[in-house]
Structure 1
Amino acid sequence: MSRPVSIDAKAILEAARVIFLKNGYSASTKQIAKKAGISEGSLFKHFKTKTDLFMSAMEDDDGIISWEEKLMGSAGKGNIRSNLESVGLQVLRNLQVVLPRIMMVRSSGIMLQGQDYTGSREMPHPVRKLYALANYFRAEVKCGRLVMDNPELGAQMFLGTLVYYVFQQVIFSFRIVTPEKYVCAVVEMFMAMHDGGSFDKVRKGSRK
């Protein structure tokens, strides 16, 4: 288990995040140290290089809401629409934090090694989220409340739709409706395709 980040390091990460997101990777460590209220030398006691500091600031999970465990615990219980609406809003909030960081990392020029994460225990956060949602869908299929041949593909489509909404906001400052209305619309369309109860009614009607 990793050690808790010290208060000083947290302050540095927060300052670095603000400066990097505003000025890009070219921002100086001197600017970051000034923002954090420490000397540049103290900064490098916590982070060996500027790249280490940059990646730590972008990867830090501060402000990220964890929804996977709660969602899995709701499988077979309550209202699926409500479950997905709650998760959808949490995903949007997380994306509003994470997407600008991902874009900053990609634009930094830092080489990132590609990897096939299928079945890996060390999957990156976005892939873990996808499999968590897919596992929930799979559980609901077993309960007969959803009809879905490929839960992973269903999860990819659901999350991808949410990503595009935030992408438009971040890049173009554009949105058609509020996050709440958007999530409700996405869930409504999703359930129209995968609702187990509705599917049963259609099948029974076709037999008459």
Structure 2
Amino acid sequence: MTEASRTDIRRVRAAVAAAREAAAEACGTGCPPARQGPGRPPDTEKRRAILDAARRLFTRDGFVAGMGEIAAEAGVSKQTIYNAFRNKDELFLAAIAEVADQITAHLETPDPEASPQEILTRIAWHFMDVVITGKMVSVMRMLTGSGPGGMAPDLAAAFYEIGPARNGRRLADWLAAQDRAGRLSIDDPDLASEHFFGMLNGKLQLRQLFHAAPPPDDAEAERRVEAAVRRFLKAYAPD
């Protein structure tokens, strides 16, 4: 890897870290809207506190975390939560899905000046930051029923649809646009999207899911990001 490539990767990684910190302060455009309950909707700060508290408790305790506990953690009443979210299922999906959404949310309005390498590197670092971490692995254990508070299959399927499936479709749509523009040569964008995320993940999440290995350190994450982006661009280079 050239020094210029390393500089690009570090720059993108810094941008990803900054985006993560900003997301902790306020919900961005990629956050899925929640349907309002029957009461008066809470203000933005309270909604943010509810989502942050729910994310912390769900990733720590699983789906057994109670609405009363979440309300206490957020510093609001249970009724305030129900003014924004009809039930615990809806709150869980909103809290966890907004984290997963960070991976490809920027593809909704991609930077027209950014190269495919820059865009893919940004996606890769978001993927590493969101998916290949202890917190998201805890959520995956919960979704599959192997961790505390395992949940019903229909709720797990709903999470898959608004998380991994939506990220896959967004990337596929962007890849199709790159093919039309002649920047990449892709005859099956959906399969290419799976290829990219598959190269990033490999067995990393599976090993953590089975308690076989800790999350990768910074050097290993950087190695995987660089290798996945480089090999993907080589495989789908225009003729």
Q: In the alignment, what sits opposite 2:127?
A: 91
Establish whether residue 58 from structure 1 lines up as the match of residue 96 from structure 2. yes
How high is the TM-score relative to the length of structure 2?
A: 0.60
Query: 1:130–1:152: 8 Å Cα contact kept in structure 2?
Result: yes
Establish whether residue 17 from structure 1 lines up as the match of residue 55 from structure 2. yes
1:146 aligned to 175, 184, 195, which one?
184
Per-residue CA deviation, residues 33-90 of structure 1 (Å, 9 max, x unaligned), is: 332234556555554544444344333459836221344x53xx65432332223223
Superposed displacement of residue 133, structure 1: 1.9
Q: In the alignment, what sits opposite 1:203?
A: none
Q: In the alignment, what sits opposite 2:216?
A: 175
Amino acid at match of 2:69: Q
SS in 1 for 2:69: helix
Establish whether residue 68 from structure 1 lines up as the match of residue 107 from structure 2. yes
Distance 2:221 2:70 in 1: 33
- 1:35–1:191 distance in 2 versus 1, CA, 3 Å: same
Of the structure 1 ranges 126-135 and 170-179, higher mean CA displacement relative to structure 2 is found in 170-179
- 1:70–1:180 distance in 2 versus 1, CA, 3 Å: farther
Distance 2:195 2:165 in 1: 13
SS in 2 for 1:64: helix
Superposed displacement of residue 167, structure 1: 1.6
Distance 2:53 2:163 in 1: 23
Amino acid at match of 2:231: M
Aligned residue-pair number: 187
Per-residue CA deviation, residues 96-140 of structure 1 (Å, 9 max, x unaligned), is: 57564454344322241798xxxxxxx634323222222332233
1:136 aligned to 161, 174, 178, which one?
174
> Where do 5+ consecutive residues of structure 1 fail to align?
116-122, 201-208
Query: Rg: which structure is higher?
Result: 1
Query: 1:20–1:54: 8 Å Cα contact kept in structure 2?
Result: yes
How high is the TM-score relative to the length of structure 1?
A: 0.67
Query: 1:99–1:167: 8 Å Cα contact kept in structure 2?
Result: yes
Distance 1:114 1:20 in 2: 14
- 1:175–1:131 distance in 2 versus 1, CA, 3 Å: same
Q: In the alignment, what sits opposite 1:187?
A: 229
**In angstroms, what is the RMSD of aligned CA positions?**
3.6
| Identical pairs, percent | 24
> Where do 5+ consecutive residues of structure 2 fail to align?
1-32
